[in-house]
């Protein structure tokens, strides 16, 4: 099949030849004729040599997102049909099947956009339920095909989660909601044999923060007999691991009352009513900055700081930096001598070095001795395409504070 053709300016094919999947508007010599938002197009260099196939988005700064690169000039034209998309989804599924332990965990990210060579879509699996987030028109147009593929893989229930701002920007038309049958709610999943209730319809992200799975398990190893403060606790991910590992006290603080209510549920799901772990836990609906400020110095053995993305864009980085510095400064002041701080940033526009500098400034302002004892990131079901470093967004530091 012939696809509309986008021609690049001379020299602007370089990053694409290195498999970076984005065509920025400034790199375009000639826009495709007769192509609409979301259509599949072919990208060519200025000499008319094929570079790859992409989803077209004329009103975005990223005019095209490449999902298949042309290897050589002799490549036959690509046939983009159901089997093509199925092979891509299968490739993503195989990675998870091979390297996640499905006996202890049945919640994972199946598709991580560019990280799985499929730009414009995220799909999180909660046992037999798949929550799909469409990020561009291109993936909306192929959604009927993707739906068939997901069902073949064994997902009985599919929820389309459309964020309002994306819907507007990308002119998405499919409504948020269940596609086909609705399962019995709420959905309970297993993560490292701990249980979590997932708020699919109204929760944040796709209902759960799957990207912290391994970091939560690591937190457990620091928690036995400790007092733990989980800031920005959402539905209590880190708290459950701390209690399961024998923490003597765990406080979960989140500004959302819905989140703290589910957090309490989640604790009850995991521990028997007679278990004194229940009495060691408290869920508190409060602003974490206020909560931390009101604490006496050196209050907890372990403090987790996992705030939402303070910088949603490059422009917002400076203001966000002040937020990260003051939050971490508070964390350092309120942790005991010889204590541990787990600190994170999930802002894509704050890179690892910048995050570390912010934490450095916070440590200096708190006048504490601080050493990095582990550096954390996102797990294997949120893979980073090596040619697309923008896909690495989660950064964490485990700090030993004296």
d(CA 335, CA 222): 14
Does residue 56 touch ligand SAH according to CB under 6 A?
no
Query: Which tokens is 212 given?
Result: 């912290």
Distance CA 100, CA 105 (A): 8
Report how far residue 64's alpha carbon sits from residue 6's, in angstroms, rounded to the nearest whole number.
9
Q: Which is nearer to ligand SAH, 114 or 199 (CB)?
A: 199
Q: Which of residues 231-260 bind ligand SAH (CB under 6 A)?
A: 232-235, 237-238, 254-256, 259
Q: Which is nearer to ligand SAH, 70 or 233 (by Cβ)?
A: 233
Q: Which two tokens stand for residue 312?
A: 């949603």
Nearer to ligand SAH, 69 or 209 (CB): 209
Tell me whether residue 107 or residue 335 sits nearer to ligand SAH (CB atom).
Answer: 107
Q: Which of 287, 293, 375, 386 binds ligand SAH (CB under 6 A)?
A: 287
Paired with 228 in beta bridges are 250, 302
Dihedral pair phi/psi, residue 189, rounded to 5° = -125, 170
Closer to ligand SAH by CB, 44 or 233: give it.
Answer: 233
359 is written with which tokens? 């934490």
Q: Closest approach of Cβ 297 to ligand SAH, in Å?
A: 20
> Do 123 and 21 meet the contact criterion of CB atoms below 8 Å apart?
no
CB of 400 to ligand SAH, least distance (A): 21
Examine the residue annotation and report whether 346 is marked as an active-site residue of this protein: yes
Which one is catalytic: 231, 263, 288, 346?
A: 346
Residue 219's nearest CA partner among 192, 234, 239 is: 239
Q: How far is residue 156's CA from residue 176's CA, in Å, rounded to a whole number?
A: 17
Q: Which residues pair with 121 in a beta bridge?
A: 134
Q: List strand residue ranges (DSSP E) for 180-272, in order.
A: 187-191, 194-198, 227-231, 249-254
- What is the contact mask toward ligand SAH in residues 290 to 329, using x (rule: CB under 6 A)? ----------------xxx---------------------
Size of the site for ligand SAH (CB under 6 A): 19
Q: Report, in Å, the least distance between residue 260 CB and ligand SAH.
A: 9
Q: Find the part of the chain contacting ligand SAH (CB under 6 A) among 85-93, 164-172, 284-292, 372-380.
A: 284-292
Site track for ligand SAH across 199-228, x = CB under 6 A: -----x----x--x----------------
DSSP state, residue 271: S
Minimum separation from the CB atom of position 156 to ligand SAH (A):
25
- Contact partners, residue 166, CB within 8 Å, separation at least 6: 134, 135, 172
User: With respect to ligand SAH, which residue has the nearer C-beta, 63 or 343?
Assistant: 343
C-beta of residue 307 within 8 angstroms of C-beta of residue 276? no
CA–CA separation, 135 and 172 (whole Å):
9
Query: Closest distance between ligand SAH and the C-beta of residue 346, in Å?
Result: 8
What residues are annotated to the active site?
346
Binding site for ligand SAH (CB under 6 A): 204, 209, 212, 232-235, 237-238, 254-256, 259, 287-289, 306-308
């Amino acid at each position: 099949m012939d696809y509309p053709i986008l021609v690049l300016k001379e020299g602007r094919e370089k990053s694409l030849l290195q498999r970076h999947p984005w065509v920025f508007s400034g790199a375009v010599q000639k826009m495709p004729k007769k192509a609409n938002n979301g259509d599949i197009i072919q990208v060519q260099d200025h000499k008319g040599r094929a570079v790859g196939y992409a989803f077209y988005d004329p009103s975005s700064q990223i005019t095209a997102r490449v999902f298949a690169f042309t290897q050589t000039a002799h490549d036959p034209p690509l046939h983009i049909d159901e089997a093509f998309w199925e092979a891509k989804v299968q490739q993503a599924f195989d990675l998870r099947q091979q390297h996640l332990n499905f006996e202890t965990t049945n919640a994972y990210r199946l598709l991580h956009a560019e990280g799985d060579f499929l730009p414009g879509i995220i799909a999180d699996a909660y046992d037999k339920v798949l929550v799909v987030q469409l990020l561009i028109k291109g993936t909306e147009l192929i959604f009927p095909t993707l739906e068939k593929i997901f069902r073949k893989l064994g997902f009985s229930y599919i929820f389309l989660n459309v964020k309002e701002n994306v819907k507007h920007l990308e002119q998405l038309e499919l409504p948020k909601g269940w596609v086909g049958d609705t399962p019995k709610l709420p959905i309970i999943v297993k993560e490292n044999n701990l249980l979590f209730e997932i708020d699919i319809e109204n929760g944040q992200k796709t209902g759960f923060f799957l990207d912290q799975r391994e970091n939560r398990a690591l937190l457990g190893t620091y928690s036995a007999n400790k007092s733990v403060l989980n800031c920005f606790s959402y539905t209590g991910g880190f708290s459950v691991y701390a209690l399961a590992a024998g923490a003597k006290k765990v406080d979960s603080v989140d500004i959302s009352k819905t989140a703290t209510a589910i957090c309490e549920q989640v604790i009850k799901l995991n521990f028997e009513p007679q278990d004194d772990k229940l009495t060691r836990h408290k869920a508190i609906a409060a602003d974490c900055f206020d909560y931390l400020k009101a604490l006496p110095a050196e209050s907890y053995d372990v403090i987790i700081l996992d705030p939402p993305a303070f910088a949603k864009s490059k422009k917002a980085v400076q203001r966000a930096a002040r937020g990260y510095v003051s939050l971490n400064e508070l964390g350092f002041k309120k942790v005991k001598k010889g204590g541990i701080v787990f600190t994170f940033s999930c802002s894509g526009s704050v890179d690892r070095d910048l995050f570390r500098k912010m934490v450095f400034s916070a440590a200096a302002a708190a006048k504490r001795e601080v050493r990095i004892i582990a550096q954390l990131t996102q797990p294997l079901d949120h893979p980073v395409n090596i040619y697309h470093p923008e896909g690495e967004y989660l950064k964490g530091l485990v700090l030993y504070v004296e």
